[in-house]
Copies of this chain bind each other. A is one copy, B any other.
Amino acid sequence: MTKIPMSPANNIASWLASKKTISRLISGIELEKDFSLATLKSLHHRTGEAYRIGITGPPGAGKSTITNLLSRQFLQLGKRVGIIAIDPTSPFTGGALLGDRVRMTELGLDDNIFIRSMATRGSLGGLCKKAVDTADVLDAAGYDIIIFETVGVGQSELDIVRAADSVAVILVPESGDAIQAMKAGLMEIADFFILNKSDRPGAESAYSALRTVLTIRNTVHDPWQPGIIRSVGTENKGIQDILNEITRHRNFLTSTGTLNERREINAKSRVKEIVQKLIDDDLWSSEREMQLLDSLKSISVGKLSPYSVAEQILLNYKKSFRR
């Protein structure tokens, strides 16, 4: 039996060789264990090879189904695939809603696929950072394709898929017209669209509406023309077309040099998120938490402004460095 080293940072290669230790490392990231930070630093030089795909859309659009089928396709091409699925936390169990994940069990048995669900856990935040950290682990472990799958039309959820190289937005005829998708902020981040369940009534008008909106968009100076791929996930239709569209986008990014540019932009927001996390941990000592708790009643009855309290806490923090 191989002995697993206590600190992965000292022996990255062996940690990244087994699914079991990779899982442990990702759990460390989720629980913000110290060893995970050291490890992330030391594995960074192994990253950058994987191609990252973000898949998002409204609840019920068929994201899991499409993700599964796509992964199977990649496997057949000899690729190793990592899936990072963001599941909003259930308020009842405190854990992630893993219903969809159950369907992935079959896929998960394949040695060349790694599936990880991450829960949103209320307002704890830092989810985007953790998801990207996890992608780095899988990247360093030699997975060729990494798929972020998130439900959502929300800012934090969109931030996660935005961290990908190619972003697919899945819509269904029932999710309303293109205007609704625009309202949800989905048009902004899509490199291409998947119109799933396109055998349903209303599919053609949804397609046309989307086309029209994209026409308006194309008058703005952007050499990339997002495609609209029709699919029927439950019947395994359109998956090859999605794959082709991913390839078309990837070729566009590499041929124009936009891939590096895009990754640098992503690195920028990532560093900012890490800085914020480091400061948060540093600033919110139990002493300052107490200072805050003591002032809450005064704030809620209108006696003390939250701005004054915030300034006091910041002042206290800054003073701590002068000591």
Residues of A within 8 A of B (CB): 37, 40-42, 44-48, 58-60, 87-92, 97, 99, 120, 122-123, 125, 127, 151-159, 162, 174-176, 179-185, 187-188, 216-217, 220, 260, 263-264, 266-272, 274-276, 278-280, 282-284, 292-293, 295-297, 299-311, 313-314, 318, 321-322
Contacts and interface: CB of A to CB of B under 8 A. Distances in A.
Contacts of A91: 182, 187-188, 217
A156 B155 contact: yes
Contacts of A159: 123
Which of A175, A179, A299, A314 lies at the interface centre, i.e. has the most chain B CB atoms within 10 A of its CB?
A: A299
B313 A293 contact: no
Contacts of A270: 299, 306
A297 B59 contact: no
Contact of A155 (B60, B155, B292, B321): B155
Number of copies of this chain in the oligomer? Answer: 2
Contacts of A174: 174
Contact of A296 (B60, B176, B264): B264
Given A153-B153, A180-B60, A187-B91, A306 B44 contact: yes
B275 A283 contact: yes
Contact of A268 (B87, B127, B282, B293): B293
Contact of A310 (B92, B157, B185, B271): B271
A97 B180 CA distance: 10
A95 to B, nearest CB: 12
11 contacts: A42-B305, A44-B304, A88-B185, A90-B182, A91-B187, A154-B154, A260-B297, A266-B300, A275-B283, A321-B321, A322-B322
Contact of A297 (B88, B125, B157, B264): B264
Contacts of A303: 45
A301 B276 CA distance: 23
B155 A120 contact: yes
A307 B37 contact: yes
B48 A301 contact: yes
A282 B315 CA distance: 12
A174 B202 CA distance: 14
Nearest 5 interchain pairs by C-beta = A154-B154, A91-B188, A44-B305, A274-B310, A155-B156
B37 A306 contact: no
Which of A123, A154, A299 has the most chain B CB atoms closer than 10 A to its own CB?
A: A154
A87 to B, nearest CB: 7
A259 to B, nearest CB: 9
A304 B268 CA distance: 13
Contacts of A127: 155
A127 B92 CA distance: 28
